[in-house]
Amino acid sequence: MKANNLLDEMLAQVKLTKKTTAKEQKIIENATMLFATKGYANTSTSEIAKAAGVAEATIFRHYGTKENLLIAIVVPFLKDSIPTLADDLFHAIQPQKQPTFAHFLKALILNRLAFIDENKEIFTVFIKELVYREDIRNQFVPFFRDQAFPRISEVIEYFKGKGQLKNIPNEIIFKTMLVNVLGHLVTQYILSPDPDRERTEKGVDLLVDTILYGIAEMPK
């Protein structure tokens, strides 16, 4: 799966996944097509309604907002695609060829930041909705955890075997990584967006250091 072509992938999926009504199907298909060709920010609900052959009020009745419409496209796609995306990720960074857990963690974070940057419009909305909407968290986070934890746990065990990680439960290590990385994403894409690549890499170095060693100077 190509990281820079998610909306095209989503369009292919929505054509195969039929909605409960013909109107919903037309709205979802045309919204996805317009988001892919014009960009999310440059697409209006009136354009979507015209392309779908429905009244704009119909879109608001079904989805409420353009953000909700995007989420209705993104969440099912991600739930279907996460296993493949995870396989692509681990193939790209090759965890067991990384010399240290710090190298693995940095490669993982930079890879996902690049992936999000290539699909910035949709993930900026998705991350924001994930933070503020409990229903999205309840629907997505447990699924993500079930898919991600076994893969990360294998890597944790590998680096534990090399003596690079403490013998604490893998679940705690995973949660520590997840909370810190999610916090970084919220800061990077919602609270203080900054596209500067050099500063992003420096920020990731600091993030990895904080995850591994905390923030306090230990007494000699």
| DSSP letters for 75-135 | HHHHHHHHHHHHHHHHHHH-GGGSSSHHHHHHHHHHHHHHHHHHTHHHHHHHHHHHHH-HH
Q: Which two tokens stand for residue 188?
A: 């990077």
For the question of whether the overall pTM of this predicted structure is more than 0.75, the answer is: yes
Q: What percent of the chain has pLDDT over 70?
A: 93
Kindly state the DSSP code that residue 187 receives in the 8-state scheme: I
Q: Which two tokens stand for residue 42?
A: 């440059």
Give the pLDDT band of residue 60 (cuts 50, 70, 90): very high
Given this model, what pLDDT does residue 219 score? Answer: 58
Asked whether the predicted pLDDT for residue 127 surpasses 60, the reply is yes
Given this model, what pLDDT does residue 3 score? Answer: 40
Which amino acid, residue 61?
R
Q: What is the assigned CATH class of domain 1-74? A: mainly alpha
The CATH topology of domain 94-220 is Tetracycline Repressor; domain 2 (1.10.357)
User: Are the C-beta atoms of 41 and 52 separated by less than 8 Å?
Assistant: no
Asked whether the predicted pLDDT for residue 161 surpasses 70, the reply is yes
Kindly state the DSSP code that residue 192 receives in the 8-state scheme: S
1-74 shares its CATH topology with 94-220? no
Which amino acid, residue 168?
I
Task: State the Cα–Cα distance between residues 140 and 127, nearest whole angstrom.
Answer: 11
List the domain boundaries for the chain: 1-74, 94-220
Given this model, what pLDDT does residue 156 score? Answer: 96
Mean pLDDT of 84-98: 92
